[in-house]
Amino acid sequence: MTNLGGSRLTRHKLLLDVQNLCTHFRTEEGILRAVDRVSFQVHRGETLGIVGESGCGKSVTAKSIMQIVPKPKGSIVGGKILYHREDEIIDIATLHYQSQQMRELRGNEISMIFQEPMTSLNPVYTIGDQIMEAIQLHQKLDKKAAREKTIEVLGKVGIPSPQDRVDRYPHEFSGGMRQRAMIAMALSCNPRLLIADEPTTALDVTVEAQIINLMQDLQTEMGMSIIMITHDLGVIAGIADRVLVMYAGWVVETGTTEEIFYHPQHPYTRALLQSIPKIGSNARLESIRGSVPDLNNLAQGWCYFAPRCSAAMDICVEKEPPIFSREDGHTVKCWLCQEEEASA
Ligand code: SF4
């Protein structure tokens, strides 16, 4: 088993408190509940991993926090996203995505990096111009100071000869270098919260390890919090303090990384863990049968994982499972927990 990131967990002040978040999309087929009553917290300096298959609501959760859910089809229709500053609490869910306050939050305090840097970097501007623009916009520095800061931050993310590379275009960078440049752009304004949406998926494993190490080093140096979104549990094991498992727009399990890896309770979490390779094991990898349900007009009032669950009971297709919470903060949305409580 990989070394788990949970060992670094210490309780710090609350930074983000997401309560019952609901983000829906209006589609031709009806209402798509991409994020359905999702709740979680992020403390200062900690890394929260969000895992699940594609289509489980991970990225929409992140985009909701950034207020960049594609309009007009998508919108936050319920819940709170409470962002804690020293002297005030801001409910991001109530802010207009183009408001001055939201723009300031997006640039200065919360940053996001995406899976494919080529879709976020503009091919006709140099890397330096793009980072400088963000710095000038949010830090009110003049051009000379912004260029110096850009070279400094490119050096910080491990780009060799940053004083030369600052004038290169995205196509002149390798995939790993482009992702480093994206991290540089995200970190250039010293955010308190970095949201990384599958930041290493497009990279080969050695570059992936470098990027993960880089993010951990920068986190230690800058004291920021990270939300790491991935379908790769191996990445989560190495970096996260706590883990949130999402399925079909729901949070189905949360706990410390140690709890989730060594004592998973939800059948979906267990199935995800059985599908990752283990060093030294010749055991055949298990795939999860079936696929994530189509969230369009999905009838409510049952467990969405039931068609894929080998432990499903009658109640699972009759009533939505509630969330069972333990004192240590481990939560599970599954009827099996009630059975276990009853037999204890
Ligand atoms: Fe499986 Fe039932 Fe638990 Fe859903 S509630 S995960 S169907 S046991």
**CA gap 128, 150 in Å, rounded:** 7
Instruction: Check pocket membership of 306 for ligand 1, CB cut-off 6 A.
Output: yes
Give pLDDT, residue 2. 43
Three-state SS for 258-283 is: HHHHHCCCCHHHHHHHHCCCCCCCCC
E strands along the chain, which residues?
14-27, 30-43, 47-51, 74-84, 89-91, 110-113, 193-197, 225-230, 242-247, 250-256, 324-325, 331-332
Instruction: Check pocket membership of 323 for ligand 1, CB cut-off 6 A.
Output: no
Question: In what helix (H) or strand (E) does residue 216 lie, and over which residues does it extend?
Answer: helix 205-222
Pocket test for ligand 1, best of 335, 338, 340 (most atoms within 8 A of CB): 335
Whole-Å CA distances, 209 to 129, 192, 205, 287: 28, 23, 6, 25
Q: How far is the CA of 313 from the centre of ligand 1 (A)?
A: 7
User: Do 82 and 89 touch, CB atoms closer than 8 A?
Assistant: yes
Instruction: Check pocket membership of 334 for ligand 1, CB cut-off 6 A.
Output: yes
In this structure, the residue with its CA closest to atom 5 of ligand 1 is: 334
pLDDT in tens, the chain (344 residues): 444 554 454 557 999 999 999 999 999 888 999 999 999 999 999 999 999 998 999 999 999 999 999 988 999 999 999 999 989 999 999 999 899 999 989 878 999 988 776 677 889 999 999 999 888 887 778 899 999 999 998 988 888 999 999 999 999 998 888 888 988 888 888 899 999 998 887 677 777 888 888 888 889 888 899 999 998 888 898 899 999 999 999 999 999 999 999 999 999 999 999 887 666 666 666 778 888 888 887 888 999 999 999 999 999 999 999 999 988 889 999 999 987 777 76
Pocket test for ligand 1, best of 266, 269, 334, 337 (most atoms within 8 A of CB): 334
**Whether pTM exceeds 0.85:** yes
Give pLDDT, residue 177. 87
Instruction: Check pocket membership of 335 for ligand 1, CB cut-off 6 A.
Output: yes
Q: How far is the CA of 252 from the centre of ligand 1 (A)?
A: 10
- Residue 267 CA: which ligand 1 atom is closest? 6
Q: How far is the CA of 317 from the centre of ligand 1 (A)?
A: 9
Please give the angle made by the CA atoms of 75, 77 and 82, to the nearest 5 degrees: 95
Peptide bond into 162 cis (omega under 30): no
Q: How far is the CA of 267 from the centre of ligand 1 (A)?
A: 7
Q: How far is the CA of 263 from the centre of ligand 1 (A)?
A: 17
Instruction: Check pocket membership of 153 for ligand 1, CB cut-off 6 A.
Output: no
- Residue 306 CA: which ligand 1 atom is closest? 7
Token pair belonging to 336 = 């099996």
- Residue matched to tokens 């990898």: 285
Whole-Å CA distances, 194 to 19, 166, 183, 185, 340: 19, 23, 9, 11, 38
Instruction: Check pocket membership of 316 for ligand 1, CB cut-off 6 A.
Output: yes
Is residue 51 helix, strand or coil?
A: strand
- Residue 309 CA: which ligand 1 atom is closest? 1
- Residue 268 CA: which ligand 1 atom is closest? 6
Token pair belonging to 115 = 């899976």
Instruction: Check pocket membership of 315 for ligand 1, CB cut-off 6 A.
Output: no
Q: How far is the CA of 246 from the centre of ligand 1 (A)?
A: 14
Pocket test for ligand 1, best of 250, 309, 333 (most atoms within 8 A of CB): 309
Instruction: Check pocket membership of 304 for ligand 1, CB cut-off 6 A.
Output: no
In this structure, the residue with its CA closest to atom 8 of ligand 1 is: 312
Give pLDDT, residue 173. 92
Instruction: Check pocket membership of 321 for ligand 1, CB cut-off 6 A.
Output: yes
